[in-house]
Amino acid sequence: MVREMFVRDHGRGVPVVHLHGGWGYEIYSAQPQIDALPDVRFVIPDRTGYGRSEPIAELPPRFHEGAAIETEGVIDRMGLGRCVLWGHSDGAVIAVIAALRAPERYAGIVVEALHLDREKPRSRAFFTTMANAPQDLGERVVAVLRVDHGERWEDVIRMGGRAWLRIAETPAEDFYDHRLGELAVPTLAIHGADDPRTEPGELDRLRREVPHARIELLAGAGHCPHAERRSAARVSELLAGFLSEVRTRLQ
């Protein structure tokens, strides 16, 4: 079933589909990159259940895979052809799954704050807060979430917290069906050195299984380098350089 989706479409040039994280788009807006890269066409869908797309009551099992399929539909409906995926957090998981499903569709992928482990002990309290007490996330965060999701903001955050608590119950499963080593498209991984959502060893797995991936670890950056004051400009530089490298693959 094709659900109604809201899609932002900014600029003209190299097509980049930006896949937001688990709190939606506005809280970690890509506006710094939109402003810095005028020769890029940023296509930014709200995933089903988020923002101005069709609401849902619960994220289904394997929702990342479902979102990858949904992303393929957006690309086809907009006639983007071969493009670059740039995913943040949950969006990064979705980008990898999409590139494993159909590598011929993508000139390359940029994965920011990529998740590899399903069980994240250091984040359990955070996910529990999301599921049970999202108002405790703070006034500033809540204000932006309300702008993005309207009065449904609590429902959106609660369903994300519940989803990640369920994911933690199946640590032996794998987001990528144990196919991460098959990832063949050019890959740029951007990661904050102080990302609180990262468990020890996650990036080691990426280095081991995807040796061609370029990994940029940004000092002083947290979970969303592209939206953080100290690292946003560097992310724009990295994105511009990567797009220059893969431009010939867009033909």
Q: What are phi and psi of 18, to 5 degrees?
A: -95, 125
Give me the percent of the chain exceeding a pLDDT of 90.
Answer: 97
In a domain, 91, yes or no: yes
In a domain, 87, yes or no: yes
Segment 215-232 shows an average pLDDT of: 98
In a domain, 198, yes or no: yes
- For residue 74, give the nearest of 56, 100, 101, 48 by alpha carbon: 48
Determine the pLDDT at residue 4.
Answer: 81
Total domains in the fold of the chain: 1
Range of the domain at 82: 7-117+176-250
Segment 167-194 shows an average pLDDT of: 98
* Burial of 95 from C-beta contacts in 10 A (0-12 / 13-18 / 19+): buried
In a domain, 160, yes or no: no
The model's pTM is 0.97
In a domain, 125, yes or no: no
Which position has the token pair 């359990």?
Answer: 124
Segment 34-63 shows an average pLDDT of: 97
Determine the pLDDT at residue 218.
Answer: 98
Question: How confident is the model over 60-84, as pLDDT tens digits?
Answer: 999 999 999 999 999 999 999 999 9
Determine the pLDDT at residue 1.
Answer: 46
In a domain, 131, yes or no: no
Determine the pLDDT at residue 251.
Answer: 67
In a domain, 170, yes or no: no
Question: How confident is the model over 104-127, as pLDDT tens digits?
Answer: 999 999 999 999 999 999 999 999
CATH number for the domain harbouring residue 180: 3.40.50.1820
Q: Pick the residue with more confidence: 139 or 3? A: 139
In a domain, 126, yes or no: no
Determine the pLDDT at residue 213.
Answer: 98
d(CA 146, CA 159): 15
CA dihedral 214, 34, 15, 180 (to 10 degrees): 30
Give me the percent of the chain exceeding a pLDDT of 70.
Answer: 98
